[in-house]
Amino acid sequence: MFVVNKKMLSYIVILGLTVVLIGNSTIAAKGKADVVKLVELLQQDNAVNIGNWSVYAREINEEITNKQEFEREVVALKQKYPQFSWYREDGASAMKAEAFFYHVDSGLTESIKLMTTEEESDKVTYVIYEVKGQEWREGYPAYFTGTYQNRVNDIFRGTPSIFSCISGSINDNMDSILNSKTEGLLDKFQAREIESVHETNFTSISAHSTLFKQPLTKEKLNLQFGLRTEGLGDRTNFVVGTPIITFEY
């Protein structure tokens, strides 16, 4: 498991909050899904093992401003996705509806969330759709061009922000230093380093890649990855995300 440097963790948290607050300033990339691009690039190295991964889509629904409109949207989604298990959790100033569905055949887990909260005296409703897995299978690219895209079209009113994140390991068994692996990933993702944290056995990089189209800052940050190894010749754990890492590590 990664234990992230405190400076980098604060940076990631601030970026994450910024993304939530600015709404739909990022855009969904057209064509091949970003998670598929990430996997294809990583799998060019036979020593790479893909572990957990997640694709997270989010949008602010400006049409939901009261409880009646919230309930109406929940009912509509329940009718569209009766196979999902739905849960409610309402507070004094917030409403939340959450649904889950696990695909026994493919190993995928889908979730849909609607959350209404008070922000600066106004009610803001976030609609979130996430699909995740614990490994990568051959049929997943077809899922993203078919079922996943249909879900996005059904659930969201506009173009949601999409975040893709993958964790895994590199079994290289070579006496290569961590910096060389970092340089190799930057080259693989056609990326330019923007900010970084370097320790003896840990490196975390924020970068701009020409392969992805969701910049978050004026420096066009759209890729983050972290690497941790226990020493020379040992397995290296990694996590990579676009435009930012969404996993805790």
CATH number, residue 209: 3.30.2030.10
Structure tokens at 65: 């401003």
Strands (E) located in the chain: 48-60, 85-88, 95-102, 109-119, 122-133, 161-170, 191-198, 202-209, 223-229, 236-242
Q: Residues in the chain with pLDDT < 50?
A: 1-29
In a domain, 1, yes or no: no
Quick one: pLDDT at residue 232? 61
Can the peptide bond before residue 82 be classed as cis, meaning omega within 30 degrees of 0?
A: no
Quick one: pLDDT at residue 47? 85
In a domain, 249, yes or no: no
In a domain, 247, yes or no: no
Quick one: pLDDT at residue 209? 94
Quick one: pLDDT at residue 21? 36
Quick one: pLDDT at residue 133? 97
Quick one: pLDDT at residue 206? 95
Quick one: pLDDT at residue 233? 60
Dihedral (C-alpha) 169, 8, 181, 19: value to the nearest 10 degrees?
80
In a domain, 190, yes or no: yes
Alpha-carbon distance of 161 to 241, in angstroms, equals 14
In a domain, 124, yes or no: yes
In a domain, 166, yes or no: yes
Report how many domains make up the chain. 1
In a domain, 100, yes or no: yes
Quick one: pLDDT at residue 23? 40
In a domain, 75, yes or no: yes
Quick one: pLDDT at residue 14? 38
Alpha-carbon distance of 102 to 104, in angstroms, equals 6
Range of the domain at 49: 6-242
Give which of 56, 36, 234, 69 is closest to 131, Cα–Cα. 56
